[in-house]
Amino acid sequence: MDTFPYLGSLITEDGECMTEFRTRLNRGQAIGVPQQKIWKSHSIPISTKVRLMKALVWPVACSCESWTLRKNEEIRLDAFEMKGLRKILWVSWTAKKTNEWVLNKAGVNRELLDTVKAWKLAYNGHTMRKQGECLKGEFLEKEIMQGTMPGAHRRGRPRTAWIDNINSWTGLSMVESIRMTEDMDKWRKYVHGMANPRIEDG
């Protein structure tokens, strides 16, 4: 068996998350279908529709804490967000409206990718602060996330690892980011800044 579901996620033989990623986005689009009456309604403000999309669609589509995001996945997340906004505004792709026009019409900025990053950073901080005994498996999750599991690496160019996302987004080394997570308040502020970069920038 190459792929099997486990606790709501798809586990693949090669350990990649692309299959899970695509499946989640498809589920998110399916969740949006029953909301067509809401999206079409002229009596509901656009801001309310956007909030409903974030509450109903995003959590289903982006159960993302275990994902390893590459450039391709980031592009797909941006496209998924824009597609949702176009449905809310009832703008067909044939209308030839730019993404900037759609964002201005909806009165929002791109947020989904930053939100996904914040969820993953928050999960990283929670896991790195865990204390326990190795014999009980408490540190196994840390070893997997940090890429320190024993065993030989495959030949060729190394694949992007889960922890590589954290290092890239924070601009810190693995050791530095782990030290930062030990200060819960400091890490929480950092994650909040990642989720709300435009608010933080003033």
Chain segment 152-172, per-residue pLDDT in tens: 556 666 677 778 888 888 888
Calpha distance 63→171 (Å, rounded): 24
Percent of the chain with pLDDT over 70: 73
Secondary structure element (H or E) that encloses residue 28, with its range? helix 18-32
Residue 52 has pLDDT above 80, yes or no: yes
What is the spatial distance between Cα 141 and Cα 145, in angstroms, rounded to a whole number?
Answer: 6
Q: What value does the mean pLDDT take over residues 110-131?
A: 85
Tens of pLDDT along 84-109?
A: 999 999 998 788 899 999 999 999 99
Reported residue count of the chain is 202
Q: How confident is the model at residue 131 (pLDDT cuts 50, 70, 90)?
A: low
More confident residue, 136 or 199: 136
Of 12 and 169, the one with more pLDDT: 169
pLDDT at 36 over 70: yes
Residue 72: what are its φ and ψ, rounded to 5°? -60, -40
Identity of the amino acid at 194: M
The predicted pLDDT at position 135 comes to 45
Rounded Cα distance, 18 and 72, in Å: 10
Please give the model's pTM, rounded to 2 decimal places: 0.75
Mean pLDDT of the chain, nearest integer: 78
Confidence band for 198, pLDDT divided at 50, 70 and 90 = very low
Amino acid letter, residue 10: L
Q: How far apart are CA 150 and CA 24, in angstroms?
A: 30
Q: Where are the alpha helices (DSSP H) in 57-155?
A: 58-61, 71-89, 99-106, 112-128, 140-146
Quote the pLDDT of residue 10: 57
**pLDDT the model gives residue 47:** 93
97: left (phi over 0), alpha (psi -120 to 50) or beta: beta
Whether pLDDT at 79 is above 50: yes
Instruction: Report whether pLDDT(193) > 50.
Output: yes
Residue 202 has pLDDT above 50, yes or no: no
In angstroms, what is the C-alpha Rg of the chain?
Answer: 19
Average pLDDT over residues 45-59: 91
C-alpha separations of 180 from 161, 166, 188, 201 in Å: 20, 12, 10, 21
pLDDT given at position 143: 64
